[in-house]
């Protein structure tokens, strides 16, 4: 078994330390000098040469010790690369000598010294994981945990791997937190972040507080990727590793639809499976390592192509980003059940993903899943670990018709999972959150009411393409046509160049599409990664043609 502590807190050997010395500057600190201030952005990376440094969380102006670093150890975690605010403080216990590297020098070290890079990236990931599973408080959310407003904030923090603690506002601890923050009268949910307390903040306000916000107004990039699911992340990794200046825009955070999968078992290289969240985080770190810039929670309102060929992207924040080339990897939006009050219960017992955040809602109770695809099967297996029972409702007769054979077999054999065929949900019941559902059995023409604490909907999706300019041709289902799939007649009418589109290029030169949003693509994580990787070949060709 892997010792996570030793992975998170390794020591530099003599060779690695000498390499760091070449890249860094030797600095000194007196006892109780602060190396890193909690809440600070752009903080340096330190490798300790002598002395010890305590890593602490500041709570109510008091230090809570997390770990102590000694000689040959180093400070920092993933936020060294994300550019977000530090979640901890680092303070010298005694006279300290340390090698200091700014973020630019650290990224250069990662790219030029593989042995150091491998050690640091693994340590950064594990450190953040250990924080998230410890009693580390981080961002505090106080609210009704089964409401849409609270779920919205928790999903954003979860997707962006921001350590946080959620308190039920009606509990003794929740009321205590509200009193301590002088927020008893504030709108719920209340968020406390980096010394600031805000009632029911927007996602953009929360992003600003934790340091995710980045100003890209008026800046030009070789490539702007819209969407950071598997296709967008793969494209970001390959593009930045090959010297293409890249910006990635997402409405929530890295991972896309795959990031919500509790376990992906058919992705090459992970025989025992990997969670969508971990896979996304690894791709995110790779892209950051090579210099990709990420901004969230932001959407693109429109794209206007100038006579010069440059694309101007109007963002939901009011900023305008410029791109020589655009990759649309915006994926899909979940299909709604199409019954009354659906919107009311979204995030309050009705979910479109099954992660550890949603699993808490149905712990020890009944979870109902609608849908028969792989996402539904993965959710059923995951939720069965903590729920009393899981009921899977499908409209047809054969679960294995739309689900991978290995997964279908597991679902059917699981003692806590019941598959209900020929059925569909007709009503959702509850006051503030889901308390029960009613379904209609088409075979017997009867209705049944089931008490449950959560309803999970996996009934397919619609491509997220409504924001695209009219010049981008879509198929009859709204997916983007690319390359050879574009009808020649349409291409002849709208294509002004003396070449054919690249394989992933749309009917607008320099605008590409990859992943689930592309017409004809296979809706699988591995395919999306391949699509995003292949898109970079098209990017190179296009950039060369306009150089």
For CATH 3.40.30.10, list the domain ranges present in the chain.
139-203
Q: Does domain 342-457 have CATH number 3.50.50.60?
A: yes
Residue 472 has pLDDT above 60, yes or no: yes
Contact between 370 and 352 under an 8 Å Cβ cutoff? The reply is: no
Asked whether the predicted pLDDT for residue 144 surpasses 80, the reply is yes
Identify the residue whose tokens are 């009859």: 476
Name the residue with higher pLDDT: 493 or 27: 27
Q: Tell me the pLDDT tens digit for each residue of 192-237.
A: 998 899 999 999 999 988 888 788 999 999 999 999 999 999 999 9
- Over residues 30-41, the mean pLDDT reads 95
Buried b (16+ CB within 10 A) or exposed e, 238-275: bbbbeebbbbbbbbbbbbbbbbbbbbbbebeeeeeebb
DSSP 504: T
Give the C-alpha separation, 376 to 351, whole Å: 12
Quickly list H helices, 91-171: 103-112, 114-132, 148-159
Please give the pLDDT value at position 158.
Answer: 87
Q: Which CATH superfamily is domain 139-203 in?
A: Glutaredoxin (3.40.30.10)
Of 3.30.1600.10, 3.30.450.20, 3.50.50.60, 3.90.45.10, the CATH number of 220-333+509-546 is 3.50.50.60
pLDDT value at residue 1: 46
Domain 4-132: CATH superfamily, name plus number? Jelly Rolls (2.60.120.10)
CATH 3.50.50.60 in the chain is located at 220-333+509-546, 342-457
Strand order in the sheet with 25-29: 25-29, 96-101, 45-50
Over residues 264-292, mean pLDDT: 89
pTM exceeds cut of 0.85: no
Which residues have a Cβ under 8 Å from the Cβ of 214 and sit 6 or more positions away?
Answer: 83, 293, 294, 295
Model pLDDT, residue 305: 94
Of the pLDDT bands very low, low, confident and very high (cuts 50, 70, 90), residue 494 is low
Average pLDDT over residues 462-469: 93
H helices within 461-524, ranges in order? 488-494
Give me the helix-helix angle, 276-290 and 114-132, nearest 10°. Answer: 140
Tokens linked to 535: 């898109």
The CA distance from 298 to 156, in Å, is 12
In the chain, helix, strand, coil percent, each to 5? Answer: 30, 25, 40
**Does an H or E element contain 240, and which?**
helix 230-241
Q: Which residues pair with 462 in a beta bridge?
A: 333
Q: pLDDT (tens digit, 9 = 90+) per residue, 499-545? A: 889 999 999 999 999 999 999 888 788 899 999 999 999 999 999 99
Task: Give the angle subtended at the CA of 328 by the CAs of 322 and 332, to the nearest 5°.
Answer: 135
**Sequence-ordered list of residues with C-beta below 8 angstroms from that of 303, at least 6 positions apart, any chain:** 311, 312, 313, 314, 326, 467, 468, 469, 511
Rg (CA), the chain: 25
pLDDT tens, position by position, 362-386: 999 999 999 999 989 999 999 999 9
Q: Examine the pLDDT at 54 and tell me if it is beyond 50.
A: yes
């Amino acid at each position: 078994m892997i010792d996570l502590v030793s992975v998170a807190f390794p020591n530099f050997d003599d060779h690695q330390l000498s390499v760091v010395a070449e890249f860094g500057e030797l600095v000194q600190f007196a006892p109780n000098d602060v190396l890193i201030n909690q809440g600070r952005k752009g903080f340096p990376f330190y490798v300790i040469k002598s002395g010890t440094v305590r890593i602490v969380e500041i709570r109510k102006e008091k230090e809570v010790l997390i770990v102590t670093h000694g000689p040959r150890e180093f400070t920092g975690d993933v936020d060294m690369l994300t550019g977000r605010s530090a979640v901890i403080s680092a303070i010298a216990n005694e006279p300290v000598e340390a090698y200091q590297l700014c973020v630019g020098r650290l990224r250069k070290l990662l790219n030029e010294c593989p042995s150091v890079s491998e050690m640091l990236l693994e340590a950064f990931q594990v450190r953040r994981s250990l924080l998230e599973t410890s009693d580390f408080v981080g961002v505090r959310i106080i609210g009704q945990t089964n409401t849409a407003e609270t779920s919205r904030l928790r999903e954003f923090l979860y997707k962006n791997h921001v350590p946080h603690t959620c308190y039920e506002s009606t509990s003794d601890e929740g009321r205590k937190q509200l009193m301590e923050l002088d927020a008893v009268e504030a709108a719920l949910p209340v968020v406390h972040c980096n010394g600031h307390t805000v009632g029911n903040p927007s996602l953009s306000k929360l992003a600003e507080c934790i340091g995710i916000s980045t100003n890209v107004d008026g800046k030009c990039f070789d490539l702007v990727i819209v969407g950071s699911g598997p296709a967008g992340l793969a494209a970001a990794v390959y593009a930045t590793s090959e010297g293409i200046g890249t910006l990635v825009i997402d409405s929530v955070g890295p991972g896309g639809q795959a990031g919500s999968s509790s376990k992906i078992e058919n992705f090459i290289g992970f025989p025992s499976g990997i969670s969508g969240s971990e896979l996304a985080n690894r791709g995110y770190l790779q892209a950051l390592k090579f210099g990709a810039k990420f901004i969230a929670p932001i959407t693109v309102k429109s794209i206007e192509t100038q006579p010069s060929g440059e694309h101007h992207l109007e963002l939901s924040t009011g900023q305008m980003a410029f791109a020589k080339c655009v990759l649309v990897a915006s994926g899909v939006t979940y299909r709604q059940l199409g019954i009354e009050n659906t919107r009311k219960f979204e995030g309050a017992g009705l979910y479109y993903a099954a992660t550890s955040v949603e699993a808490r809602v149905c712990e020890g109770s009944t979870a109902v899943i609608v849908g028969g695809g792989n996402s539904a099967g993965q959710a059923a297996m995951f939720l069965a670990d903590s729920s009393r029972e899981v009921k899977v409702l499908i409209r047809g007769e054969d679960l294995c018709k739309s689900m991978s054979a290995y997964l279908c077999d597991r679902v059917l054999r699981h003692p806590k999972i019941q598959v209900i065929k020929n059925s569909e949900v007709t009503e959702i019941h509850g006051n503030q959150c889901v308390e029960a559902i009613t379904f209609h059995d088409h075979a017997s023409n009867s209705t049944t009411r089931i008490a449950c604490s959560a309803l999970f909907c996996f009934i397919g999706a619609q491509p997220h393409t409504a924001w695209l300019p009219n010049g981008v041709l879509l198929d009859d289902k709204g997916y983007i046509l690319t390359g050879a799939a574009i009808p020649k007649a349409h291409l002849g009418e709208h294509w002004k160049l003396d070449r054919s589109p690249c394989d992933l290029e749309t009917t607008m030169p320099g605008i590409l599409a990859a992943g689930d949003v592309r017409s004809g693509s296979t809706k699988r994580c591995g395919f999306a990664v391949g699509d995003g990787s292949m898109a970079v070949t098209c990017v190179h060709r296009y950039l060369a043609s306009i150089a």
